[in-house]
Amino acid sequence: MNNFWMILSQSYINKFKTKVFMITTLLVAAAIVAAVNMEQIFSYFNDEEKETKIAVIDQTGTMYKPFQEQLAVIADDLTVVQTDKTEEQLKKEVEQGVYKGYLLLGRTADGLPTATYKAENITNSEISSDIRQALQSLKTMEVAGKFQLTNEQIEMWNAPAAFKVTALAKEAKSEEELMQAQVLVYILLFFIYLSVIMYANMIASEVAIEKSSRVMEILISSVSPVKQMFAKIIGIGLLGLTQLGVWMVAAYTALSAQSEGSVVDIMGLKSISLSMIMYAVLLFILGYFLYATIAALLGSLVSRLEDVQQMMMPLTFLVMIGFFISMYGLSNPESPFITVTSYIPFFTPMIMFVRIGLLTIPLWEVVLGLGILVAAILIFGVIGARIYKGGVLMYGKSNSLKDMKKALALSKDN
C-alpha cells in the first residue's frame, strides 16, 4: 500500500512542479480575473479626454440643430461640428486626425431626413449606430409633427409592446434566472470539457513515456500494474482539483469585487448557488474518473509518445460530441434527445449538468444519471485494470484498438 501512495504522490508532485502546470494555472486564473473585469479593462483604453469629433455638412440648412440635439441625448461622447468646408478639405482633415469622419445631412425626395457618414474606415460600428439612432429620432419627430402628434402621443408611439413570459410550474426558473443559469452553465461546461480532455491526455502520455523509457519494467517488479493505474488516476485527479480550486478562488475573488450594476452583476454571476458549484465539482470528478480510466488503458497500449494522440482520438471525439450536444441543450434543454443522452455515461457529466442548471428536474433523475455514470466507471475500471495490466507489457508499434485483445491475453498469463 505504501507503494501505491508513493506513486500517487509522485504523479501529483511531479506534475505540480512542472512549469507547464504552473504557467497554465496562473494564465487561466489571470484570464478569469480579466474576463470578469473586462468592462473596467476596456474603460482604461478609452481616452475620455480626447473628444470624438465629426464634421457635419448640412445640405438643407435646417437639419443640423435638431440633429445635434437628438445626438446629444443618445451619445454624450460624440461631438458634431457644423462646417462649410468642401468634402476634399474634410478628407484631408480626417486623414490628419482633426475629425474622425464627416457627415452629409440631406433629404430624400419625400422630404425625409437622410445622411451619409464618411470616415477612413467603418470598423467603429458604435459611431454609425449612434448617428443612425439620432437620425431615426429626428425622422420620427418630423413625421409626428406633420401629423400634429403631441409629446405624449409620440411616447406612446415609440413605447415597446408589453410582453411577459411566465412559467406555470411553481419551481420553474424565471426568464431572468434562466438567462443567468445559461451563462453559468456555459462557463462551467467549458471548464469541464477542457479539463477532462487535458487530464485524460496527461495520464495517457505519462504511461506512454514510462513505457518508452523502460521505467515501466522497474515499476512492474515492485508495484502491481493495477495499483499503478489507479495511483496515477487519483494523483492527476487531485492535480486537476487543485487547479480547479485555484481557478474557483480567482473567480470568486474577482466576482466579489464587482460593484452593483456591472455586467457581471446583471448576468447574475455574483449570485452563483452553492448547489450549482457542488454539482459542477461532482460531475467534473465523475467525468474525470470515467475518461481517465479509459485514457490509462489506451496509454498502456502504446510504447511511443507520438502514438498517444492517435490512440486517444476516439476518446477525444466522445468528449467533443458531448460538448456539442450540451451546446444544443443550452437552447433546448427540454428536448427528448437531451434527456436521453444525459443518461449515456460518456455524455452525462456535461449534458446532465445542462439539465440541472436550466431545468427543475426530479431528484430521482439526477440520482439515476449519477448512478449510471458511477456504474460505468466501475465497469471500465475493472476492464481497464485488466487491459492496463497486459498493455504495460506490450512494446513495439501499436496504434490499433485491436491490441486490447492481446493486452487481455497477457493479463491472464500474469
Kindly list the domain boundaries of the chain, sorted by start residue.
Answer: 51-158, 174-413
pLDDT at 180: 67
pLDDT at 391: 62
* d(C-alpha 79, C-alpha 95), whole Å: 18
Print burial letters for 385-410: b (CB count within 10 Å at least 16), e (below 16).
Answer: bbbbbbbbbbeeebeeeebbebbeeb
pTM of the predicted model as reported, rounded to 2 decimal places: 0.66
pLDDT at 368: 94
Q: Does domain 51-158 bear CATH number 3.40.190.10? A: yes
pLDDT at 262: 54
pLDDT at 223: 62
Greatest distance between any 2 Cα atoms in the chain: 97
What are the 10-residue block averages of pLDDT along the chain, 414 residues in total? Answer: 71 80 85 76 58 86 89 84 89 88 88 88 80 88 80 77 70 65 73 76 74 56 68 82 81 70 52 74 84 78 70 82 87 89 91 85 91 90 74 58 62 57
Q: Is 288 exposed, middle or buried (0-12, 13-18, 19+ CB in 10 A)?
A: buried
pLDDT at 310: 77
